[in-house]
Amino acid sequence: MPTFYVRHPAAGDAADHFRADEGLGAGRFQQILASNASLMVHANARRHLASHPGVRNWYFWDEPLTFGTLMLDAFGRCWDGALQVCLGTHYVHLWPDRPRLPTLHLAGRGWGPAGVPTEVTLIVCPGDLTPVDLAVSATTDLVVDGAAHDFDCTIRLQPAHLAPRPLAPSGGTTGTLPAEQGELQAFTAYVVGKCAGGKGSVTGCVGLSLYLEDPT
């Protein structure tokens, strides 16, 4: 796989190797084009999906972790208790030149009360579904010494984690027929957590960053 972009004269430039009536050195120029196209198709597949400032001072009601009851606290508002963040619905493609889906990576910073088990879970649901229909999840235990530490959750996406999402985009309410249409494979990502310390625990799950990386 190429590791950097090969600069060449821009299209239309006086030195453009590909301008009209210019003889082609087939091998060299084909190789430059193939190298750059291959690099860019991989580089652009490593896409950032979402960033979120995170949630502070969350606690947990339910033990053990049951996804159907975790999602809302007694007041039904995530910022009034439970760690519950939806990181949105996203599409993914098969990785270029590999019959594999990309790896989904959540990075953040977390803290919890010293000595109190505290964990963060990344949930993936097919299409627009909610966590009761989760397809896969990954949990990480936070380092709990009162200070903030990096944490990561990684999910190797599989076809069963996705659902088709047909799209026929047409701007606004103009009523014009879509000029193009197609189907993407999509999932929705959630971040939830629990802390055994209960209400009043000093917790944090901040600096959330969700992105795609090469299949592992």
Binding residues among 109-168 for another protein as defined by CB under 8 A: 109, 111, 130-132, 146-148, 150, 167
Does 66 engage in binding with another protein (CB under 8 A)? no
Taking CB under 8 A as the criterion, the residue among 14, 15, 23, 53 binding another protein is 53
Give the pairing type, strands 118-126 and 182-195.
Answer: antiparallel
Q: Of 23, 64, 171, 200, which lies in the binding site for another protein, with binding defined by CB under 8 A?
A: 171
Of 88 and 117, the one with the shorter C-beta distance to another protein is 88
Other C-beta atoms lying within 10 Å of the C-beta of residue 114: 11
Counting Cβ atoms within 10 Å, is residue 142 exposed (0-12), middle (13-18) or buried (19+)? buried
Ordered DSSP codes for 47-70: -EEEEEEEEES-----SS--HHHH
Nearer to another protein, 39 or 136 (CB): 39
Select from 14, 160, 177, 179 the one that contacts another protein (CB under 8 A).
Answer: 179
Q: Return the half-sphere exposure (C-beta side, CA atoms, 13 A cut-off) of residue 184.
A: 14
Stretch that binds another protein, among 74-82, 113-121, 135-143, 193-201 (CB under 8 A): 74-82
- Asked if residue 18 binds another protein (CB under 8 A), the reply is yes
Query: What distance in Å separates the CA atoms of residue 101 and residue 216, rounded to the nearest whole number?
Result: 9
Among 44, 64, 160, 177, binds another protein (CB under 8 A): 44
Q: How many helices (H) and strands (E) does the chain have?
A: 2, 9
Q: Which is nearer to another protein, 147 or 160 (CB)?
A: 147
213 binds another protein (CB under 8 A): yes
